[in-house]
Amino acid sequence: MAKVGIPRALLYYLYYPAWKAFFEKLGAEVVVSSPTNKTILNSGVSRAVADTCLPVKIFFGHVMSMIGECDYIFAPAVTSLGNEAYNCSKIIGLPNMTRALIPECPIILDPEINLEKGRYHFYQSIYKLGRYFTHNPFRIKKAVEEAWENNLAYQSVMFDEGLTPVEAIDRMYQGKQQPDSSVASAPSLTIAVIGHPYVIYDEYLSHRLIHRLQSMGVKILTPEMAPEKALYDAARKLVGIPHWSFETDIIGAGEYYLEKKVDGVINLSVFGCGPDSMMVTFVQHRARELNAPFLHLSLDEHTSDGGLLTRLEAFLDMIKWRERICV
């Protein structure tokens, strides 16, 4: 049985259940790389050009950690998801960069997903992907349907129960009951954490930010917990028609939660993130207008636990202090 490796990085957090269902329906075995650790990070950093952003370096690390464990690596080039919006260049050029930087890597499955080129192009690239496993177009169609259903189920798990992608994936595949997220029985603050899913939910990369906040008695809101339509509308209000698909969710969530009067907004971004560098400015500006607390954290491979924690604590103290003054 063919083994398909899915690196636990970048778009994994958005589409893993759909991809898993698709490949399994086609009779392949799906292998996921282990959560990010120091070795993975270092091996990724060793290959990529220094200016590359951290999540992409981590992606390369994950790919390298799976060499020899699988027959294929799945690295799609997700160019556009429609609405005249595109993705960051690094996501579009991902399979090509992987091939160039890791020549010893297994065969890369690199469908180009570009909805701007129309439906036919999309069907064709999915069919081309399915051809690696079967020649029967009906089986491929079935697999796509299954994938779509899984994707919807995944999104509804996240949205209905307020789970993060990692928790939702655990719930779906391991039936693991999460320890009730209200660790501190009654959260005193509500804070929106906005950023790319592959930054926020990668525990190694984000230095367990979510857990840290939760253990400090903070209720977390992330972009995945808001309805997609509302996010799009909020983003439109802020910048007009958004040009970057994934940024729509981030700045949409920023605006949406700011309007909902959360206690504060934390933007977790990585150094050198092109889209974030432009878009988050708009959220920051809006937060200033509304006089809401806003913290911009920029991560890179040199970020230390201590520095991050100090800034978080100071931010929370500032919010609590403000509230005391207001009351």
Partner 1 sequence: MRIGIPHLGNAYIMVRAMAARLGAVNGEGLVIPPPMTKKTLDLGVKYSPTEACLPYKLTLGSLIEACELGADTLIQARGTGICRLGYYAKGQEQMLHDLGYDAHFLTLDISHHKFLNMLRLIRSVANGNRARTPLHEIISAFFFGIGKVIALDKIEKVAQKIRAIELEKGAANLVYKEAVKAIDDVFDSKNVKRITKEYIGKLNKLPHNPKADPVKVAIVGEIYVVIEPFANMDIEMELGKLGVEVERTLTLSRWIKYSLFLNYLGISEWREVHKLAEPYLDHDVGGDGWESVGEKVLCARKGYDGVIHLAPFTCMPEIVAQNIMASTKEDIPVLAVACDEQMGREGMLTRVEAFVDLLEFRRRKRDGRKVFSVG
**Binding positions for partner 1, rule: CB under 8 A:** 48-49, 51-53, 77, 79-80, 84-90, 92-93, 96-97, 99-101, 103, 112, 114, 239-240, 243-244, 271-282, 285, 298
User: In the complex with partner 1, which residue's Cβ is closer, 88 or 144?
Assistant: 88
User: In the complex with partner 1, which residue's Cβ is closer, 49 or 186?
Assistant: 49
CB of residue 174 to partner 1, shortest distance in Å:
35
CB of residue 74 to partner 1, shortest distance in Å:
18
Distances (CA, A) of 275 to 25, 86, 97, 245: 35, 11, 19, 10
User: In the complex with partner 1, which residue's Cβ is closer, 99 or 237?
Assistant: 99
CB of residue 253 to partner 1, shortest distance in Å:
18
CB 16 within 8 A of CB 40: no
User: In the complex with partner 1, which residue's Cβ is closer, 83 or 181?
Assistant: 83
CB of residue 57 to partner 1, shortest distance in Å:
10
Per-residue HEC secondary structure of the chain comes to CCEEEECCCCCHHHHHHHHHHHHHHCCCEEEECCCCCHHHHHHHHHHCCCCCCHHHHHHHHHHHHCCCCCCEEECCEEEECCCCCECCHHHHCHHHHHHHHCCCCCEEECCEEEHHHCHHHHHHHHHHHHCCCCCCHHHHHHHHHHHHHHHHHHHHHHHHHCCCHHHHHHHHHHCCCCCCCCCCCCCCEEEEEECCHHHHCCCCCCCCHHHHHHHCCEEEECHHHCCHHHHHHHHHHHHCCCCEHHHHHHHHHHHHHHHCCCCEEEEEEECCCHHHHHHHHHHHHHHHHHCCCEEEEEECCCCCHHHHHHHHHHHHHHHHHHHHHHC
CB of residue 103 to partner 1, shortest distance in Å:
7
CA-closest candidate to residue 245, choices 97, 63, 92: 92
CB of residue 86 to partner 1, shortest distance in Å:
4
Token duo for residue 140: 């491929």
User: In the complex with partner 1, which residue's Cβ is closer, 33 or 98?
Assistant: 98
CB of residue 15 to partner 1, shortest distance in Å:
20
User: In the complex with partner 1, which residue's Cβ is closer, 150 or 248?
Assistant: 248
User: In the complex with partner 1, which residue's Cβ is closer, 16 or 74?
Assistant: 74
User: In the complex with partner 1, which residue's Cβ is closer, 222 or 248?
Assistant: 248
CB of residue 248 to partner 1, shortest distance in Å:
12
